[in-house]
Each structure stands twice: as structure tokens, then as C-alpha cells.
Amino acid sequence: MLADHYSRSQNAEKACKYLKLSGDKATKNYSNWEALRFYKDAIEVLAGQPETEESKRRQMEVRLLMACSMLPLGFPEGSLENLQDGERLSKELGDQKNHANFMSLTGQYYAWKGEDLFQAIRYSEDSFKKSEKMDDVELMAPIGGDLCLLYWWAGECLKVIEVAPKVIDLLEKTQKQSEFFGRPYNVYSTIHALYAESMGMLGFFEEAKFLLIKGLDFALKIQDLFSLAVLESHNGTVRIFGGDAKNAIEHSKKSIAYCEEGQFSSLLGIPWLNIGWSYCLLGELKKARECTERGLQIYSEAGVRYDLGVFYAVLGLINLESGDLENARRHAGEALKMSQKIHQKWLEGFVMIILGRIHGKEKESHTNKAQKCFTQGIEILTELKLKALFSPGYHYLGELYADTGKHNKAL
């Protein structure tokens, strides 16, 4: 009401102040669409004023706050323009700290929208190097978290376990574990999720569970819904890679509850995918298809695409287990194209193994094609050291050899 009053009375300074405060309040209440509206109104007020160094700085600060609301919504329309304007303003002001922040967030945009992961990683790596040179915990922590997320999406888990402990140690030494650093989640809690899943994909499941418990305990302590949603989602995925489908479903259901409470549309599709994947492992294929397709619909409506290929890979698995080889091949083919387009290497290797299984079930003339797919998939995943993913590849290749009478190779 105060913001509206001062806008009508043409008191730009106070209108901007109360619009920003209204946006901050909406963000804390997880009303991200409302927060975006207030922040946009504040920028409009500032844009109508004479351009001074102070007005530029205030506009830059509001654009950074807008980015915090955009991320949980999957970076809706206008997000890239906002980030680019923020990057431009920070450069004009010579504000290296915020320039690095905007660059890292731009990298997040490219990843969330399913564009080139290499490009996104370059943005974030450059920002992280700048933050290290500045020796600024308030910059290193959020950008380090951004970088770990991108490395994990690409399957560069060894790089995650280089960066994540640095950030965690830094936050613990400076007693800044409770800080959010301009992100919509608690960095300390959330980076534990990425660290944990990376350890799980590398085959260290007990260490992954320990990290998840540590992250969850802290997120519960500070009652951060976003971090809780992320941690439980990753908990579900770690359980899937470890073959514990029943517990994967329970943790994914918790993630869904947190997502719905906090209106985190950009996160909600993944735990539904995990439930579908888990039911596939349990052989409950009707439920598996329903949950995966529901997750895909939620995901598509949210406008995010960073893990879109995983949905198609799991649909390929479900069709394979159902004996529908034609649709299994079609979905796996879509997943492969998506993974190669954005350079999501772990998914490319994972899908090649699925395609190997599919070709192995087809005519005997496809045996060589199946063997080639298995070999390529195993090579990609072995290079990334993802033991939890390449080990099953050897198992299925062994099955192929056994089915074709090559018993020594099978063993």
C-alpha cells in the first residue's frame, strides 16, 4: 500500500524503497511471482529517473534480487534480459563482485534452459576464479555452489568433489553456514546435496548418505524449504543409483511435499521422475509410466529443460521393460540427441547402455550394434569415473555375450 501511495504521489525514492521491501517480503514467503512483479515495478520507477551512478547501483541491486526469485520459477520470460542488464550495469559501475555474480547466474540460466552446458560452465568457472582472487566468502560460496550444480549436471563429479569441500570448509570456518548469499536457497545445505549425489555416482554410497544427513539436519534446523526440497530429491536419486527403490520413493515424496509448499515449480518434476524410475526398478511399470509422464508434464510447463533428456531415458527404460522395443528405441534416441546437444556426458553414456540393451533384445543381426553401444557408453562413463553407472553397463554387456553363446566373454 505504501509503495502504491508513493508511486501515485510521484515520490520515486520512497516508491522504489517500499516496492523493494514488498518484493523481499514476498520472496521470504515463497511468493516468487509476486516478488517478481514488485521488483519489476521498482525497476520501472528507477528507469524513469535521471540516470546517475546511484540510480544505476540501485537498479543493479534490484535486478540481483529478481534473479533470486527467477531461479525457483525456472527463469521465466525476461530472465536473460534482466541478467544481461545487471551484468552491463555492474561492468559500467566497475563492480567486480556483482559482475561475477551476474555472470554465474547467467551460466545458470543457460543450463536451466537446456542450452550448452560447456557455455554455462565457462561462465561459472570464470566467475569462481574471480571470486577466489578476491578471497571473498560472500562471492565464493554462492558461485561455488552454482559451479558444483553445473559440474554435476554434466557428470563431472570429480570436479564437484574438488570444489564442494572448499566451499563447505570456508563456510564452517567463517561461521556463515546460515547465509543465503543472494540465492533462493541455503548454500551450505544445498551444496551437500550436490556433493552427496556426486559421491553416489562415483560409487561411494555410504559417504553420500552421510553428506545427505548432514545437509538435511542443517536445512531442517534453519527451516529452508528450498534446500529441503533439493536434498530430498537428490536423496531419492542416490537411492536409485544404489538400487534402493523403496526408500527412493519415500524421499522423493518428501521432496514433492516441500516443492508444493514452497511453490517450487522448477524443482517439482524431478522427484516425480525419481518415483517413476523407482517403480520401474520394482517392476511396477504402469505406475512407473504414470509418474514419469506426470513429472515430464510438470517439468515442461515450468519451462525448464536442463534434465529433459533424463525423462526420455527413463521412459525408454520403462518401454524396454514392458517389451515395447519400438517406443523404447524412440525415447532413448530422443534422450541421446538431447544429451549430445547440451554436452551432458553422463546422460549420453547412460543412454548408450540403454540402447545397447534395446538392440540386444532385437534381431540377432543387431548384436554388433548392441555391443558397440555398450562399449561407447562404458567408455564415456569410465572416463568420468562414474562407477555406479558403468558397472551395470558391464553386467548388461555380459548378458548380451551369454545370450549369444560367448560364455568366456560373458564371464
pLDDT in tens, 96-149: 888 888 888 888 888 878 777 888 898 888 888 888 888 889 899 999 999 999
Question: Nine-digit cell at 205?
Answer: 554410497
Whole-angstrom distance, CA of residue 405 vs CA of residue 409: 9
**Which CATH number is associated with domain 315-411?**
1.25.40.10
Nearest to 143 by CA among 93, 96, 107: 107
> Which of the four CATH numbers 1.10.1060, 2.40.50, 1.25.40, 1.10.10 does domain 1-94 have?
1.25.40
Whole-angstrom distance, CA of residue 312 vs CA of residue 277: 11
Q: Which residue has the cell 538435511?
A: 216
Question: Nine-digit cell at 219?
Answer: 536445512
pLDDT, position 51: 83
Q: Give residue limits of the domains in the chain.
A: 1-94, 315-411
pLDDT, position 118: 83
**pLDDT above 70: residue 268:** yes
Confidence of residue 242 (pLDDT cuts 50, 70, 90): very high
Q: CB under 8 Å to 328, separation ≥6 — which residues?
A: 316, 317, 319, 320, 322, 354, 358
- C-alpha pair distances (Å), 210 with each of 160, 192, 205, 232: 16, 10, 9, 13
Q: Which residue has the higher pLDDT, 250 or 119?
A: 250
pLDDT in tens, 148-196: 999 999 999 999 999 999 999 999 999 999 999 988 899 999 999 999 9
> What's the chain's average pLDDT?
91
Answer yes or no: same fold for 1-94 and 315-411.
yes
pTM of the shown model: 0.89
Q: Kindly report each contact of residues 306-309 with a partner whose C-beta sits within 8 Å and lies 24 or more positions away, as own/partner.
A: 306/111, 306/112, 306/113, 306/114, 306/153, 306/342, 307/153, 307/270, 307/273, 308/114, 308/338, 309/334, 309/335, 309/336, 309/337, 309/338, 309/339, 309/342, 309/344, 309/347, 309/351
Q: Which residue has the higher pLDDT, 304 or 267?
A: 267
pLDDT in tens, 194-236: 999 999 999 999 999 999 999 999 999 999 999 999 999 999 9
Confidence of residue 10 (pLDDT cuts 50, 70, 90): low
Output DSSP code: residue 49: S
pLDDT, position 184: 87
Q: Which residue has the cell 515520490?
A: 11
